[in-house]
Amino acid sequence: MKINKNLAALPAGYLFAEVAKRVKTFSAENPDARILRLGIGDVTRPLAPAVVAALKKAADEMGTPEGFHGYSPDFGYDWLIDAIIAGDYAPRGVEIARDEVFVSDGAKSDVGNLQELFGPDAQIAVTDPVYPVYVDSNAMAGRLGDYVNGKWTNLTYLPCNAENGFVPPLPEKRVDVVYLCYPNNPTGTVLTKEQLQVFVDWALENDALIVYDAAYKAFISDDAIPRSIYEVPGAKKCAIECCSFSKTAGFTGTRCAYTVVPGEVTYDGVRLNRLWGRRQATKFNGVSYLTQRAAQAVYSPEGQKQILETIAYYRENARVILAGLKKAGILAFGGVHSPYVWMKTPEGMPSWDFFDLLLKKAQVVGTPGEGFGPAGEGYFRLTAFNTLENTRAAVERIVSVL
Amino acid sequence: MKINKNLAALPAGYLFAEVAKRVKTFSAENPDARILRLGIGDVTRPLAPAVVAALKKAADEMGTPEGFHGYSPDFGYDWLIDAIIAGDYAPRGVEIARDEVFVSDGAKSDVGNLQELFGPDAQIAVTDPVYPVYVDSNAMAGRLGDYVNGKWTNLTYLPCNAENGFVPPLPEKRVDVVYLCYPNNPTGTVLTKEQLQVFVDWALENDALIVYDAAYKAFISDDAIPRSIYEVPGAKKCAIECCSFSKTAGFTGTRCAYTVVPGEVTYDGVRLNRLWGRRQATKFNGVSYLTQRAAQAVYSPEGQKQILETIAYYRENARVILAGLKKAGILAFGGVHSPYVWMKTPEGMPSWDFFDLLLKKAQVVGTPGEGFGPAGEGYFRLTAFNTLENTRAAVERIVSVL
């Protein structure tokens, strides 16, 4: 049987496995250590009461002949799509049609699967550091060449660091698709409307596509920062946007997301909206009725109030981390419109060395920046998803070893 | 932007759209007609009370700090995997290890995504008629050549019909992967252990892979018929098996499935278990905690009793259809180990003509066999998922126009 050699040759998922391994070794050698984890990108606060109520109501319905629901519509129930449009787009002045929204089980699935719309020789660009799924999903499809010294030979890296204010440069060579994620994972930074406009203009001029990952948009605390790339003129002709309830409403263990593919996004006379619809209808069977009712409840007045309280909780954690690091004289970024704080390691220490130092001296776990790409070296990611109490304690410990 | 031309050129999903269009036109012209639908492949009976209780309990847990669950393990919770092994494999004498089971949101997703493990030039075979996902997912990846006169130029069709007793012949040319689905969709027929052994032996001899879709296994009513291909000696070296809770427990709108990739399935020295794990970990983010608790409840004593009652209900419908057709002198297949009855059209009438005849004269909707592949011409699919009352009425009407 002929196997997919690109998939077989893909380097093993290294970052979080290596983190877990080092933590496990340390724990075994120091059984009494109370380790504080600011490494995880997973939420920890309970689902909103409005969401729990919707789930239970839907479960009861599913147990009756009248209320039972079989297969969901491939792209989502209209009542959820309407709630998404009314809740996330209309208030920002963005017009989105029902058939431009595709409800799914996760933004990770969508950003991983979207590359199926691209030809085998499409040229890809990512910001660096980067969420690994953009890279790995294209590598599996054979678009990225070989992995040599931590870089893919046929991938365009757009480095983002303190020197350029975490604003990615435009690609210098021909690129068909650029992946942008704002608020950014892992750096926690955002782009202004003007900075995004540069990319939209570039895409329109170059017949290129932007895949825009807005999974963290609920953390944006300044109305001037775009929550959707469609707030930028021209973006509806050149951008696909992936959104998720995971960070917005604590749905990492509940699984609901949506992707917007505007009808106007067209290449070679082919509408990507049609292609994505065909892809989803063929290989995906819709999101469960319960989960869609839960997502709908997020947009109810109580749901909105409740999820904003949870986001405020995480925001306070991020503020505590940022304030503590700054007081200690450490350069740190993100953390304002994002649950992620991206700190410079002290004196340019390699990020894995800093990981080991923090683990051993402070019993705090974070994520080494190098794990997110070559330009992440010398940086370290801390997350705001632990409890406030643990976050405060962790920051004290971190500062004590700097 | 360079698009995926294979996806762009894929013929539109025709079958159910065309069925819906003809029904809509007829309804508009005959507003008083009471149409009975035996066309759908979707369940209609409510979820088992044990499943509803599990969903509500899990929803309550998710609303508390102690009971909240974030990201699920990529491949499923151990407690669900253990329940699957203990419930579906151990009683059949099949040994499956925890790390061979991958829980997912649907067998459609899994059978659609599995082709990502194959090289771009892997040669594919399907039985004919066939569930369209096997074909379309490979066509999108560019493996099937061109679509000419209803057939793909680079796909091996294994015709199944009354003449060969619906036992597919072995491929005559080199094939890397064969998709088998038993109990079969759409024909409702099964293969014995000896008939499956022929395919397993062929795969082992030819270094080929079997993708085995067992989504309908809960309908098997004879213990001598294998419920898993792993009951056949040698299959653990050459077969991947996809299973689902959709038809087993009415989960079409709840979404849970699992795929087994045994550790021994190896080609060119590469274990497919590792490749599938890498694929799933990269592009899929696990099944929701609630849904996995619901699936676990299917294996509880009450859950088992309740789902078997529902399956018995559908089985009785299938029996009514089969008995009615046979009494009217119509050749019909399936319906014993399957919710699908596959009937010969009267006097070899083209299946779309028979569709129109049934709709107009009997106001009954079924599915034309030609829609499932060239060898489906002259056949017609009826499903057992309506109510018993409607099923009885539909059969009377069908028989009256034969």
Residue A153's contacts (CB-CB under 8 Å, 6 or more residues apart) are A144, A145, A146, A147
Chain B positions in Cβ-Cβ contact with residue A10 (cut-off 8 Å): 278
H/E run at residue A159: strand A155-159
Chain B positions in Cβ-Cβ contact with residue A45 (cut-off 8 Å): 65, 68
Rg of chain A (C-alpha set): 21
Measured between CA atoms, the residue of chain B closest to residue A68 is: B46
Of A8, A43, A118, the CB nearest to B270: A8
CB atoms within 10 A of CB A99: 13
Rounded to the nearest 5 degrees, what angle is found at the Cα of B76, between the Cα atoms of A291 and B300?
Answer: 80
CA contacts within 13 A on the Cβ side of A180? 33
Whole-number average pLDDT of chain A:
96
Determine, for residues A106 and B285 on separate chains, whether the beta-carbon distance falls below 8 Å.
yes
Chain A positions in Cβ-Cβ contact with residue B42 (cut-off 8 Å): 70-71
Q: What is the pLDDT along chain B (402 residues), one digit of tens a residue?
A: 999 999 999 987 778 888 989 999 999 999 999 999 999 789 999 999 999 999 999 999 999 999 999 999 999 999 999 999 999 999 999 999 999 999 999 999 999 999 999 999 999 999 999 999 999 999 999 999 999 998 999 999 999 999 999 999 999 999 999 999 999 999 999 999 999 999 999 999 999 999 999 999 999 999 999 999 999 999 999 999 999 999 999 999 999 999 999 999 999 999 999 999 999 999 999 999 999 999 999 999 999 999 999 999 999 999 999 999 999 999 999 999 999 999 999 999 999 999 999 999 999 999 999 999 999 999 999 999 999 999 999 999 999 998
- Closest among B292, B297, B321, B293 to B307, alpha carbons compared: B297
Structure confidence by residue, pLDDT tens digits, A109-159: 999 999 999 999 999 999 999 999 999 999 999 999 999 998 999 999 999
Min Cα distance A346 → chain B (Å) is: 32
Determine, for residues A13 and B133 on separate chains, whether the beta-carbon distance falls below 8 Å.
no
Structure confidence by residue, pLDDT tens digits, B198-246: 999 999 999 999 999 999 999 999 999 999 999 999 999 999 999 999 9
Chain B positions in Cβ-Cβ contact with residue A72 (cut-off 8 Å): 253
Please, are residues B37 and B386 in contact by the beta-carbon 8 Å criterion? Answer: yes
Chain B positions in Cβ-Cβ contact with residue A46 (cut-off 8 Å): 62-65, 67-68
Measured between CA atoms, the residue of chain B closest to residue A385 is: B70
Structure confidence by residue, pLDDT tens digits, B314-330: 999 999 999 999 999 99
Q: Where are the alpha helices (DSSP H) in B207-254?
A: 246-249
Measured between CA atoms, the residue of chain B closest to residue A66 is: B46
Chain A positions in Cβ-Cβ contact with residue B270 (cut-off 8 Å): 3, 8
The residues with which A300 forms a beta bridge, in sequence order, are none
Determine, for residues B288 and A286 on separate chains, whether the beta-carbon distance falls below 8 Å.
no
**Domains within chain B, CATH numbers bracketed:** 13-42+303-401 (3.90.1150.10), 52-299 (3.40.640.10)
Question: CA-CA distance, B223 to B71, in Å (whole number)?
Answer: 38
Chain A positions in Cβ-Cβ contact with residue B70 (cut-off 8 Å): 42-44, 250, 252-253
Determine, for residues B3 and A118 on separate chains, whether the beta-carbon distance falls below 8 Å.
yes
CA–CA distance from A259 to each of A75, A81, A110, A205, A329 (Å)?
10, 11, 7, 24, 40
Of A62, A71, A113, the CB nearest to B52: A62
Reduced to 3 states (helix: H, G, I; strand: E, B; else coil), residue A202 is: helix
Q: Count contacts between A and B (CB, < 8 Å).
A: 249
Determine, for residues A285 and B106 on separate chains, whether the beta-carbon distance falls below 8 Å.
yes
What is the reported pTM?
0.97
Chain B positions in Cβ-Cβ contact with residue A287 (cut-off 8 Å): 255
Measured between CA atoms, the residue of chain B closest to residue A57 is: B56
Min Cα distance B347 → chain A (Å) is: 34
Of B65, B69, B278, the CB nearest to A253: B69
CA–CA distance from B19 to each of A187, B16, B37, B311 (Å)?
51, 5, 11, 26
Please state whether the peptide bond connecting residue A301 to the residue before it is cis, i.e. omega within 30 degrees of 0: no
